[in-house]
Structure 1
């Protein structure tokens, strides 16, 4: 975030930044994993491949693109507070899609996170 805001990268579009980050990572990380002795397989079921594509498209590409766009248009301190929405979203979608229970303790925690985001972003 600091590098994106304080260097020449601040003038590069979010799409181009993400393209290069993903491209370099896709080329370098398999080599690093192989050098570390990690093994992998491409023998996944249709559900496995679908899950991988969905996670890559929505969980990584779209969210990072939004993040980079926001960092280039708004103060980093305000934008960073919203990164705490990720666990809240996971709880809500887990409850809606998977029927996971939201317990009173989780509700208190969610309210605390929401209060923290409000306090960081309120007008002084």
Structure 2
């Protein structure tokens, strides 16, 4: 199965993602902000990144831009998981290179479905 990096400053959200995806056989790596997420994505092979928007140190948009700037990671699927549902923010995320978008709070089955589709590509 896939190795998924979840980047969110909320430990409870990271835990919810782990609880939703681990039973499907996925390995979950965690980071508390975008800078840590970028370091982990460059240090360990990951199949997909799930990132929040608002985080300290480096936000999700900047993380996506930085990941897209690393040749080896440029095709990595990135799902934006945020409380923001504003179309302007969605457009910024898409322009930065986000593959998909899920609004918090999320249903575990929705997350599993999106991840399954993206890691099969």
Above 0.5 in TM-score?
A: no
Output the TM-score relative to the length of structure 2.
0.25
Output the TM-score relative to the length of structure 1.
0.25
Identify the structure with the greater helix proportion.
1
Larger Rg: 1
Identify the structure with the greater strand proportion.
2
Instruction: Report which structure shows greater RCO (CA 8 Å, sep ≥6).
Output: 1
